[in-house]
């Protein structure tokens, strides 16, 4: 997955947002609250919030793989 910063995995009731680069990890740290849930290094997101999250990542220049 060379060239991608973030991998998005849809698991139905949750979506995993896996940072693949230091840039993506730094973006999550700067933009996601400390009380967020992680699973295996991936941010756990409810599907209803994914659109806003993706919009923010893309507008800040991150490349997404889903």
- The closest alpha carbon to 2, from 63, 61, 53, belongs to 63
How far apart (Å, rounded) are the C-alpha atoms in residues 24 and 31?
Answer: 10
Task: Sketch the domain layout of the chain as residue ranges.
Answer: 6-65
Residues 6+ apart with CB under 8 A from 66: 7, 8, 9, 10
Asked whether the beta carbons of 20 and 57 are under 8 A apart, the reply is: no
Query: Per CATH, which fold does 6-65 belong to?
Result: MutS, DNA mismatch repair protein, domain I (3.40.1170)
Residue range 17-40, pLDDT digits in tens: 999 999 999 999 999 999 999 999
List the beta bridge partners of residue 43.
Answer: 17, 38
pLDDT band at 66 (very low <50, low <70, confident <90, very high): confident
What's the pTM value of the predicted model, to 2 decimals?
Answer: 0.93
């Amino acid at each position: 997955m060379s060239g991608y910063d973030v991998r998005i995995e849809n698991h139905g009731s949750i979506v995993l947002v896996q940072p693949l680069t230091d840039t993506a990890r730094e973006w999550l740290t700067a933009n996601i609250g400390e009380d967020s849930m992680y699973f295996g290094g991936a941010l756990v997101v409810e599907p209803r919030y994914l659109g806003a999250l993706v919009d923010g990542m893309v507008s800040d220049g991150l490349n997404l793989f889903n």
